[in-house]
């Protein structure tokens, strides 16, 4: 009888482990992780925690009571170095991963350095996702970009429109890399059962954005130009393009809230769009930034400059059906971003 009790106890312990990690038939020794919610004590790795998106995720997770983070700056861990990434995962064994690290930039930077945007993002994605699988991370979230969609896809952009047409040439290198990362997560899920999910945010702005005049996206670029114009008492500010192109914008802290929500509540094989729900013309955005900054001069356009896709708004119907929606208006988000810029970048 004693031997039987010991056997039953041992079997109970084995069964609990078996339920947590079910063997997948086929590939040698591969595991599938069942969907689980993050616990406050779980170890979380945010790749890119010092950037705009990563820092927003870090703040949001802290707000919700998570405390067990493993973090590395770019100087401490070069994500393009495969051996360094593998050593990091081997040493730290994170349980949940947010892959927010990327080489990013605006139209000018993407047009000038497409090779670097493709190569460096591919290296980071392959290294982090591959190591996450080999070290049995419970769940990984990969953050993509709405630039993955075809240039001439119908609006709003539905998830199923991916790879149905040609990409926008001005950021093709970056888009190809992001598509590869998304597909890598999809294939690890399909082939090995890994709980890797992907999200596609629309254009983002917020704290810790890149305000460099040559490499910034639309919002930080406009904030800097309007602020400098106000300080220098310039009579006009010129925006690239006709001003008639549309952009959907989401405050980065709102995007982080959506990501944490999905990490807790979604484990599907399809990626999920994260958007604001409406878009604005570039001129409307410029006027709103000018109002927030307090600039009173004229706003001009330069049609000879590129302006990218004419319209790019994502369909966030799937996200809304899962129970999440944004709270801040565009002007509210811009005011918070401008206040941060004044306090931290001047």
DSSP 305: S
Tokens of 241: 């393009």
Q: How far apart are CA 249 and CA 135, in angstroms?
A: 36
CA of residue 173 relative to chain centroid, distance: 17
Cis ω for the linkage preceding 156 (within 30 of 0): yes
Q: How far apart are CA 223 and CA 209, in angstroms?
A: 11
Of 208, 236, 206, 239, nearest to 222 (Cα)?
A: 239
Of 278, 252, 259, 249, nearest to 146 (Cα)?
A: 249
Active site residue 174: yes
DSSP 157: B
Looking at 174, 188, 266, 295, which residue is catalytic? 174
DSSP 300: E
Q: What is the three-state SS of 243-296?
A: CCCEECEEEHHHHHHHHHHHHHHCCCCCCEEECCCCCEEHHHHHHHHHHHHCCC
Torsion of CA 99, 217, 215, 224, to 10 degrees: -130
39 φ/ψ angles, rounded to the nearest 5 degrees? -95, 155
Radius of gyration of the chain (CA): 22
Beta bridge partners of 70: 45
Tokens of 212: 């460099």
Question: 92: left (phi > 0), else alpha (psi -120 to 50), else beta?
Answer: alpha
Q: How far apart are CA 135 and CA 69, in angstroms?
A: 17
Q: What residues act catalytically?
A: 174
């Amino acid at each position: 009888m004693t031997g039987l009790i010991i056997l039953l106890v041992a079997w109970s312990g084995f069964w609990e482990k078996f339920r947590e990690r079910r063997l997948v038939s086929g590939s040698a020794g591969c595991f599938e992780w069942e969907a689980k919610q993050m616990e406050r004590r779980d170890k979380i790795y945010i790749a890119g925690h010092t950037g705009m998106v990563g820092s927003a995720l870090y703040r949001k997770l802290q707000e919700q009571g998570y405390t067990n983070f493993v973090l590395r700056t770019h100087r401490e861990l070069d994500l393009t170095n495969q051996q360094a990434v593998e050593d990091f995962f081997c040493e730290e064994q994170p349980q949940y991963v947010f892959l927010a690290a990327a080489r990013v930039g605006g139209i000018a930077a993407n047009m000038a350095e497409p090779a670097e945007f493709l190569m460096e993002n591919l290296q980071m994605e392959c290294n982090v996702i591959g190591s996450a699988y080999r070290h049995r991370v419970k769940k990984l979230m990969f953050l993509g970009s709405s630039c993955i969609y075809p240039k001439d896809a119908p609006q709003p952009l539905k998830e199923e429109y991916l790879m149905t047409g040609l990409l926008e040439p001005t950021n093709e290198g970056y888009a190809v890399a992001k598509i590869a990362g998304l597909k890598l997560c999809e294939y690890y899920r399909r082939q090995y059962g890994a709980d890797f999910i992907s999200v596609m945010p629309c254009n983002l702005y917020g704290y810790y954005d890149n305000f460099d005049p040559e490499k910034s996206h639309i919002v930080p670029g406009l904030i800097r130009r309007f602020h400098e114009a106000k300080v220098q008492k310039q009579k006009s500010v010129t925006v690239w393009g006709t001003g008639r192109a549309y952009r959907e914008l989401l405050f980065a802290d709102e995007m982080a809230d959506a990501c944490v929500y999905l990490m807790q509540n979604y484990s599907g094989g399809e990626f999920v769009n994260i958007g604001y729900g409406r878009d604005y013309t570039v001129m409307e955005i410029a006027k709103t930034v000018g109002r927030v900054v307090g600039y009173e001069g004229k706003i001009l356009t330069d049609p000879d400059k590129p302006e990218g896709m004419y319209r790019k708004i994502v369909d966030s119907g799937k996200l809304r059906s899962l129970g999440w929606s944004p709270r801040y208006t565009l002007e509210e988000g811009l005011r918070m971003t401008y206040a941060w810029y004044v306090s931290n970048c001047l």
